């Protein structure tokens, strides 16, 4: 059997290099490519032809959640495994909704990674036991600090502005607006724009 082709998406160079080295020690896997952003990953996806993507949840610009959604629209057969830290577990339900088939702690060793890849390629799911209970985590709804631009986008969303309107008003691309929206959902633990607006009212960012 040919080795599984693995693509890594993470914005931390040291972690990216370390995980690449770890994969080189797993006979069942081969590195199909690596990217430091969701945008870069999507540009490389067709040529790289990976079987599995190890996707960081938090990325600059487009979040891992949005990158996962767009990747699966292009290649529905692709298997995505989220990479997360313990304190980020409250966001993993969003990755599951986006289509991720597994969750791995960034501290995982090669045996755990190998098991996760094998499980998802067999059509199963894999959720690292070292992470907090995901059902409980999905109920967490405490917002993190938002950037100035994220607050601007949020306030315009609350006024009912479309993606195109926000992009024109802030002089940014529609893709960037969608990236900010995905990050807002990620940071606040909300599932959609309606829930995001309700939260914005609660935290005083909208009336």
Question: What proportion of the chain, given as a percentage, has pLDDT over 90?
Answer: 43
Answer yes or no: do 95 and 132 share one domain.
yes
Query: Tokens representing 20?
Result: 């690449």
- Residue 142 domain-assigned (yes or no): no
Q: Do both 33 and 101 map to the same domain?
A: yes
For the segment 196-206, the average pLDDT, to the nearest whole number, is 73
How sure is the predictor about 142, in pLDDT bands with cuts at 50, 70 and 90? very low
**What range does the domain containing 154 cover?**
148-202
Of residues 159 and 203, more confidently modeled: 159
Number of domains in the chain: 2
Q: What is the DSSP letter of 12?
A: -
**Average pLDDT over every residue of 144-161:** 84
Name the pLDDT band for 203 (thresholds 50, 70, 90): low
What is the pTM assigned to this prediction? 0.66
Judge residue 110's burial from the number of C-beta atoms within 10 Å of its C-beta, 0-12 exposed, 13-18 middle, 19 or more buried. middle
Out of 114, 137, 160, a domain closes at: 137
Non-local (6+) Cβ contacts of 7 within 8 A are: 31, 32, 33, 34, 35, 41, 44, 45, 48, 50, 52, 53, 54
């Amino acid at each position: 059997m040919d080795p599984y082709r693995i693509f890594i998406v993470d914005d931390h160079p040291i972690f990216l290099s370390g995980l690449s080295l770890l994969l080189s020690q797993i006979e069942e896997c081969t590195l199909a490519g690596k990217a430091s952003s969701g945008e870069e990953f999507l540009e490389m996806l067709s040529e790289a032809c990976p079987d599995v993507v190890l996707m960081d949840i938090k990325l600059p610009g487009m979040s891992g959640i949005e990158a996962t959604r767009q990747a699966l629209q292009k290649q529905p057969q692709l298997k995505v495994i989220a990479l997360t830290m313990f304190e980020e577990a409250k966001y993993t339900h969003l990755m599951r909704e986006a289509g991720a088939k597994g969750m791995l702690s960034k501290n995982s060793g090669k045996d755990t990674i190998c098991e996760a890849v094998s499980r998802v390629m067999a059509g199963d799911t894999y959720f690292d036991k070292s992470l907090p209970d995901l059902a409980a985590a999905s109920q967490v709804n405490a917002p993190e600090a938002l950037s100035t631009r994220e607050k601007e986008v949020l306030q315009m969303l609350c006024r009912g502005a479309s993606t195109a309107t926000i992009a024109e008003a802030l002089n940014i691309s529609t893709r960037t607006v969608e990236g900010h929206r995905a990050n807002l959902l990620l940071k606040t633990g909300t599932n959609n724009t309606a829930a995001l607006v309700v939260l914005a009212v609660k935290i005083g960012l909208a009336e």
